[in-house]
Structure 1
Amino acid sequence: MEKVLVAGATGATGKHIVDLLKESPYFEPFAMIRKEDQKVSFEAQNVNWVLGDVSEDIKHTCKGMDKVIFAAGSGGKNVVEIDQEGAKKLIDASQFNKVKKFIMLSSMGTDQPKQSDDLQEYLEAKQNADRHLKNSDLNYVIVRPGALTNENPTNHIKLAHKLNSQGSISRADVAQTLVRVLKDGIADKETFEILKEGILISKAIDNNSVGIG
């Protein structure tokens, strides 16, 4: 089984990711936590944890990891420190430790942050992080969902390099997408957007008609 570090494991989307990885026959989750007292819930689930804060040196967190998912977020606070520089630190740590694949949870609108009045700073931070990943030597997938909701999973998504519409998607369906692209040979060095509804997640990702896979 491949070891997968999940940055943002204590967040709403991260918890979905860890739950999916727990059930996978291919991957073993390692929850990245900022404070040691956060280990309790993961130990109760028999999930491994790694102590690391993206605002500090985190090179050690990727040691021995096969793959990494960055699903951490500032929640609109300290976007440069967390969403940009924190992501860049984890990218550099992954490259240093020769991680095989890096999955980035990004956001729709990241390619044109100036078009958003409310989220411009956040989207610029995400854009800089995405660019840093693309310029690294890592194999990567950048997933850009619409607005995240806490709705139940539908197991269906719309997927394209660029979707010509706005909308939302459940965190559960985003998590499924992130875990799906962990596999070798799936969407390598691709960037794409996703929204709710559409076709089955597995089919959307594996289907060459959308230009990835």
Structure 2
Amino acid sequence: MENVLVAGANGTTGKKIVNLLKSSQYFEPVAMVRKEEQQEQFEKENIKTVLGDLEKDLSHTVKNIDKVIFAAGSGGKKVVEVDQEGAKRLIDASKDANIKKFVMLSSMGADNPEEANDLKEYLKAKHNADEYLKSRNLMHAIVRPGSLTNDMGTGKIELKSKLNKQGSITRDDVAQTLVRSLHDDAAINETFEIIQGDTLIGKAMDGKS
């Protein structure tokens, strides 16, 4: 079993990721949360936690960790401090700790933030974090979903390096794609976009192995 640090574990998508990892036969989740009172909900389920603030030193959060999923977000409040610099801080800590793989939850539009009408600052921050991850010589996968919905997951997506169209996708299916991306034989140093589609996630990901 590999220990997977989930940054942003307390978020809507983060919780789904933690639950998927918990039921996985390959991975053991470690929920990274910012406040002590956020730990209890995970510890009740026998899920390990670690306290970590993306605006501070993170070297302790990656001890005994094999892989990382970055699913944290500031919700638009601190895009530079959290979505950009916080991500960079965790990337650096992961690199120093010889983490085997870093899976980044990014966003469609992060490849070209200047073209965006709204969320430009957020997309710019995500773009900078993604580019930084690519530059650090760390095995990674960068997953860029369309707009997120809270509908039930279908287990099916459309996946391409660049989709050239807008679309939405459920948080369930995003979480599944991120967890699938953790595997050593999947999405090696790949960046790709996903929206709702007709192809099973595992099969869509096969093209990325």
Q: Which TM class, normalised by the smaller chain length?
A: over 0.9
Question: Which string of whole-angstrom CA distances, capped at 9 and with x for unpartnered residues, describes residues 118-139 of structure 1?
Answer: 1110000000000000000210
Match of 1:185 in 2: 185
Distance 2:165 2:116 in 1: 14
Distance 2:116 2:77 in 1: 17
Match of 1:171 in 2: 171
* Alpha-carbon distance, 1:185 to partner: 1.8
Distance 1:118 1:25 in 2: 40
Match of 1:60 in 2: 60
Counterpart secondary structure, 2:86: helix
* Alpha-carbon distance, 1:117 to partner: 2.0
Counterpart secondary structure, 1:46: coil
Q: Which runs of 4+ in 1 moved over 2 A?
A: none
- 5 Å-filtered alignment, 1:26-41, equals 26-41=26-41
One-letter code of the match for 2:32? M
Counterpart secondary structure, 1:25: coil
Match of 1:8 in 2: 8
Match of 1:202 in 2: 202
TM-score (norm 1): 0.97
Counterpart secondary structure, 1:5: strand
Question: Which string of whole-angstrom CA distances, capped at 9 and with x for unpartnered residues, describes residues 124-155 of structure 1?
Answer: 00000000000002100000000011110000
Counterpart secondary structure, 1:32: strand
One-letter code of the match for 1:141? A
Distance 1:64 1:188 in 2: 22
TM-score (norm 2): 0.99
Distance 1:61 1:198 in 2: 38
- Unaligned 5+ runs, structure 2: none
Question: Which string of whole-angstrom CA distances, capped at 9 and with x for unpartnered residues, describes residues 63-102 of structure 1?
Answer: 1100000000011111000100000000000001000000
- 5 Å-filtered alignment, 1:76-115, equals 76-115=76-115
Q: Pairwise CA RMSD of aligned residues?
A: 0.6
- Unaligned 5+ runs, structure 1: none
Q: How many residues align?
A: 209
Distance 1:103 1:123 in 2: 17
